[in-house]
Amino acid sequence: MAIHILLVHPLGYTTTKAAAHDVVRLSNIMPPIGLISLAAWLDQKGFKTTVVDCFAKPGSQRRIQEILENRRPEFLGLSCTTSSFHDGVRMAGWAKSILPSVKTVMGGPHISALKTEALRGYPALDFGIAGEGEETFAELAAGGWSRPERVEGLIWRDAEGNPQFSGPRKKLLELDSLPFPAYEKLDGYPRAYTLPIFNYPRAPNSSCVSSRGCPYACSYCDRSVFGASFRYNSARYMIAHVRHLKEKFGVRHINFYDDQFTFNRKRIEEFAQELIRLQMGITYNCAARADHLDEELLRLMKASGCWMISLGIETGDPELLAQHRQRSNLDLLAERIRMIHRAGIRIKGLLMIGLPGETEESIQRSMDYAFSLPIDDINLAKFTPFPGAPLYAGIRESGTFDEDWSKMDCMNFQFIPNGMTRKQLDRLFTAFYKRHFMRPRVLAGYVSMIWRSPDSWRRFWLSCGSFLRFAASNRRLGQEESRT
């Protein structure tokens, strides 16, 4: 009989009610690509897997209990970020109270960064996987748990209960050798998953990953899972993946969740040309760096269905950006943003507030820079120093850091740069978004979504109460801070 492995994406909230009413969660529910990629690989190796996504389905605890009681899986695998780590630990302990024999395994960026320290003090966790998980989990489940020191990439406990690490995997997978992620194991896929409103033209839509890692080393990026490696699927594999999503699940729009989609120009040229030839009727989003875009490539991408490109701006203050990002050039970035706009592709600017060295003046410069450009949408994050980022080790020299893992989700200011206050940062965060939404060009763009992305407006009206409560809470915060 095949070994049964239960794979769970934790909720990451203290209560299901909090998750059900969180407008941030409601606006963007991505399929857990890493977990379903792992499931597909394990199935291919002869194991039996079940996947439960608590983040997409907040009431899934009863289903997990039934699986533990009736199917009695040998392993429980949990994929956790820093903010969902404690919820994952809670779930591991709860699972052991129901099925004491189950072996609990945690993977993801948090444990990949902290390794043995992530297991220390959390006895409910039997094993951790640092880095790429497919081969390590397969070896562990095939009997490696009895000789854990032989399994590369594994964190385990010795006879005294002290966490140990076997070292990173020496050989990484060829991505074209991987089966497609097991999307079919997600309850309600694809309709239960959706991109942020106004970020897609049609539904159903989905996320997809065609590369692993990033060739750059910015100070704020967590690179703990894939390290310094950067690998990508071939254009041929990408086309087969897109065809699979369309023909099996009816997906009409795809967000490629790669760090650097256009880094290998030839790959994207081939992919775009084949999409045009096949006339698949698929549109897509991607993320890119300014120095890996040009006019010819953008015209080709537009013709192949590219609908939106996300660009990491981070900050519009050149001196601050130079401290944290390799090859920073705001002039080049501005020129590429205008180029994308001329190509007829929507632009999403990715920015953050609160980097080490940030000041009120640098945030004002970020606003002035962003709003001088034809940017259609923004994603403004509250800078969070994650354990896998290069600046994490010395972060307390640059400000005060409340390392509460449950709040480290880029939606809370856990780090306050020297010379600033949390109230000041929150006020400027609210002002940044308010200025964006009040721009006539942006308002006109959202109105145009009535016919360009009707599903976005449908979702907006269905969740209108949550959006208004979120806006009102931010407005009250701004009013309170203006009086202090």
Is-contact 105 35, C-beta < 8 A? Answer: no
Helix H or strand E segment including 306: strand 306-314
Compute the distance between CA of residue 236 and CA of residue 270 in angstroms, rounded to an integer.
Answer: 8
Q: What is the pLDDT of residue 165?
A: 97
- The closest of 126, 14, 84 to 386, measured between CA atoms, is 84
Cis status of the peptide bond prior to 190, with omega within 30 of 0: yes
Beta bridge partners of 165: 155
Whole-angstrom Cα distance, residue 175 to residue 132? 11
Taking phi over 0 as left and psi of -120 to 50 as alpha, with beta for the rest, 284 belongs to beta
CATH architecture of 4-165: 3-Layer(aba) Sandwich (3.40)
What pLDDT was estimated at residue 477?
A: 44
For residue 69, what are the β-bridge partners? none
C-alpha triplet 382, 385, 387: angle, nearest 5°: 145
Given this model, what pLDDT does residue 182 score? 98
Task: Look up the pTM and report it.
Answer: 0.93
* CATH level 2 (architecture), domain 194-482: Alpha-Beta Horseshoe (3.80)
| CA pair distance 81, 54, nearest whole angstrom | 14
Quick check: 163 and 149 in contact, CB under 8 A?
no
Per-residue pLDDT of the chain (484 residues; tens, 9 = 90+): 899 999 999 998 776 776 666 667 777 899 999 999 999 999 999 999 999 999 999 889 999 999 999 999 999 999 999 999 999 999 999 999 999 999 999 999 999 999 999 999 999 999 999 999 999 999 999 999 999 999 999 999 999 999 999 999 999 999 999 999 999 999 999 999 999 999 999 999 999 999 999 888 889 998 888 877 899 999 999 999 999 999 999 999 999 999 999 999 999 999 999 999 999 999 999 999 999 999 999 999 999 999 999 999 999 999 999 999 877 899 999 999 999 999 999 999 999 999 999 999 999 999 999 999 999 999 999 999 999 999 999 999 999 999 999 999 999 999 999 999 999 999 999 999 999 999 999 999 999 999 999 999 888 887 776 555 555 555 554 444 444 3
* Short-list 423, 445, 448, CA closest to 436: 445
Domain range list for the chain: 4-165, 194-482
The residue type found at 332 is: L
Please give the Cα distance from 156 to 299 (Å, whole number).
51
pLDDT of residue 448: 94
CA distance 426 to 430: 6
Within 13 Å and on the Cβ side, how many CA atoms surround 284?
33
How far apart CA 476 and CA 34 sit, in angstroms, is: 38
Nearest partner of 380 among 351, 349, 422, 414, judged by Cα? 351
d(CA 184, CA 277): 28
Residue 470 confidence (pLDDT): 54
Q: Give residue 484's pLDDT.
A: 39
- Residue 5 host element (H or E): strand 4-9
**End-to-end CA separation in angstroms for the chain:** 66
Angle at 395 between CA 322 and CA 128, to 5 degrees: 110
Q: What pLDDT is recorded for position 141?
A: 97
Contact 227, 168 (CB under 8 A): yes
Beta bridge partners, 104, equal 76
